[in-house]
Structures are given as C-alpha cells and as structure tokens.
Amino acid sequence: MPYVDRQNRICGFLDIEENENSGKFLRRYFILDTREDSFVWYMDNPQNLPSGSSRVGAIKLTYISKVSDATKLRPKAEFCFVMNAGMRKYFLQANDQQDLVEWVNVLNKAIKITVPKQSDAQPHSENPSRPGDCGKKQVSYRTDIVGGVPIITPTQKEEASDCGESADRNHLKRSPSHVPYFPPKPPSDSAVIKAGYCVKQGAVMKNWKRRYFQLDENTIGYFKSELEKEPLRVIPLKEVHKVQECKQSDIMMRDNLFEIVTSSRTFYVQADSPEEMHSWIKAVSGAIVAQRGPGRSATSVRVPIPSRFLSLSLPVSSL
C-alpha cells in the first residue's frame, strides 16, 4: 500500500513494464513527490541502497495526463493500471485491488490542476480569504500539445500548501523496500506460518540488508533469498523474550521497524509497510503463545530469582 514517509512523500512498491510492450514487469520502489513535481522509481527503497545510487526512472507530473485502471487493456497483468504521459503509456501492477485504487487516486490527485470559475473569483483583493481556501493562490498555466496529448504546465508555483491534498493523505499509513520477484519458497518440514522479505540490521557492521524471513511453529529464520535452501540464521522461538514495534525507529531513521529481542541479541527488522510490520509482530507473537501455551506470551518471560535471596526470610511480595 502507498504510505507517507518522513519527508511527506507518497511511497511504495509497484511492478512496472519499463520496456514498452515487453510484457515484462519489474519490481521497483516508487516515490511521488509533489513538491519536486516528480514520480520517480528506484531498484529498492533508497534507504537500503548504497549512498549516491541513481534512480531507475522518473516522470514529471506535468507530463502525465491521466491515470486509470488497465485491467481490460492488459487482462493477463493482474491489478494493472496505466499512466498516459505524452506519447508513452506506462503500465504498472499493484499488489492488490485496494492498492491499485489508492495509487490511481493519489496520482490523479497529484496531476490535477483546478482552474477557478470566474463567478468564484473575488472582486476585491482586500477581501479576506475564506476558511476553506487554506490561503491558496490562483495559478496561471499554459497548455501544450505533445504527441497529440494536451500537457498542462503551471507557469507559477502555489505559495500555500494544498489542504485538500493533505486531507487525502491522512488515510494513508505513515511511515519503508526490492529485488526482482520470485515465486514463494516451498514449505519445509514444519508448517510455514508466514514468509516474506524484510530488511535487517547486521550484528557487526550495522549495515542493512534485505533477507527472506520464514516463520514456522518453532523458529524464525532468514535466508539470503527465497531460492536458498539453507538459512543464514535460525532463531528458536523459545529464546525470544518479546517482539514489538521498535521505539528507536526515529533515532535509526527507519520506518516500519520492529525488534525481536532474545537473551543474546536484539534483531532490528524493517518491513515494507506499516501493515506488514504489524502482521509480522502478530504472527511471531501468536506462534510463541501457541508454543508456550496461554499466559506465556513473548512479553511474559519469567526472570529466575537468585538462590541467595531464597534463603532470606522475606515475604514473597518484597521480592
């Protein structure tokens, strides 16, 4: 799902047909930045790429004339929509129907330019603006014909923020990543409860790498990719003290961050969206409860009392 990041940009993963009419869709990380008048995409979330990594592609929002559902145009491409930009049509695939609808709406909102009617114009400049105007200023524009498509370009920038756009963003989850798509990893001997890509912090170098995580009834492990048979590490659920949303996400400058706390180490893991983060926390916590029984969740681990205290004649409550 698209979400609003720390810089107030709309972000998320989509599949795009980069080579026109190729029928080959590649997974990319998209950023819709209305302040920069751009819609750009990268190989992965820029947070997870080397510093200075260049973007894969970009489109100026003023070049996009329309965004619409393309299910009928590309029946074999599920949840497909199309962006008309000059003489080129960009076909993209969302993750599901709701994702498709939200991306189409936010993109159409971003490229929309509203010209006030003459009857709505204020006859006197000294009249105070109405509360609903949000301090907006009229925008002049010009229309060019590029490849038979009208391109509307503003000739001056708005000086005030767009309140309508802010309201539309409120329903998007705040807070971010990707490699080419592969089919899901076949289940191992234990029943797989949840599996998918996340980004984790290394123990020594403290760098962030994308790993394929797999949760079963007894363990959570991660692989270099879903094509690998041997995990890089397996964490027994009996060693997990708690799993929760990370309280240091602001310090680490990472969105959708959660932590898996064991007796020997705290694993910091970043999901691709707020929904995925909460889904992982719920799945791991549920697996722990199922393993330990009711009342023995990841947050209710007994702390042993040293034997030297047991010899003291003190009430239990004082311990």
**What tens digit of pLDDT does each residue of 241-274 get?**
999 998 877 777 788 899 999 989 999 999 988 8
Q: Is 171 helix (H, G, I), strand (E, B) or coil?
A: coil
> Is residue 76 domain-resident?
yes
pLDDT, position 134? 54
pLDDT tens string 149-208: 556 666 655 444 455 555 555 556 554 444 444 445 544 557 899 999 999 998 888 888
CATH number of the CATH domain containing 271: 2.30.29.30
Q: Is residue 203 part of a domain?
A: yes
Q: Are residues 107 and 199 in the same domain?
A: no
- The band of 143, judged by pLDDT with boundaries at 50, 70 and 90, is low
Q: Is 70 part of a structural domain of the chain?
A: yes
Among the listed residues 105, 172, 178, 115, the one whose alpha carbon sits nearest the alpha carbon of residue 142: 115
To the nearest 10°, report the CA torsion of 235, 237, 240, 241. 180
Query: Is residue 123 assigned to a domain?
Result: no
Domain-terminating residue out of 68, 95, 114: 114
Cα(76)–Cα(74) distance, integer angstroms: 6
High-pLDDT (> 70) share of the chain, %: 68
Number of domains in the chain: 2
Asked which of 86, 114, 142 is the last residue of a domain, the reply is: 114
HSE on the CB side for 212, CA within 13 Å? 19
pTM comes to: 0.55
Do 110 and 199 belong to one domain? Answer: no
Residue 226 resides in a domain: yes
- What are the pLDDT digits (tens) for 10-38? 999 999 998 888 889 999 999 999 888 99
pLDDT tops 60 at residue 296: no
Quick one: pLDDT band at residue 103, thresholds 50, 70, 90? very high
State the alpha helices, DSSP H only, in the chain: 97-111, 163-169, 249-252, 274-292, 307-310
The backbone region for 83, taken as left when phi is positive above 0, alpha when psi lies in -120 to 50, beta otherwise, is beta
Scored b (16 or more CB within 10 A) or e, 194-225 reads bbbbbbbbeeeeeebebbbbbbbeebbbbbee
Which among 87, 114, 141 is the end of a domain? 114
Q: What is the pLDDT of residue 4?
A: 85
Q: Domain range spanning residue 64?
A: 3-114
Q: Is the pLDDT reported for residue 53 higher than 50?
A: yes
Is 259 contained in some domain?
yes
Interatomic CA distance for residues 28 and 71, integer angstroms: 20
Q: Is 191 helix (H, G, I), strand (E, B) or coil?
A: coil
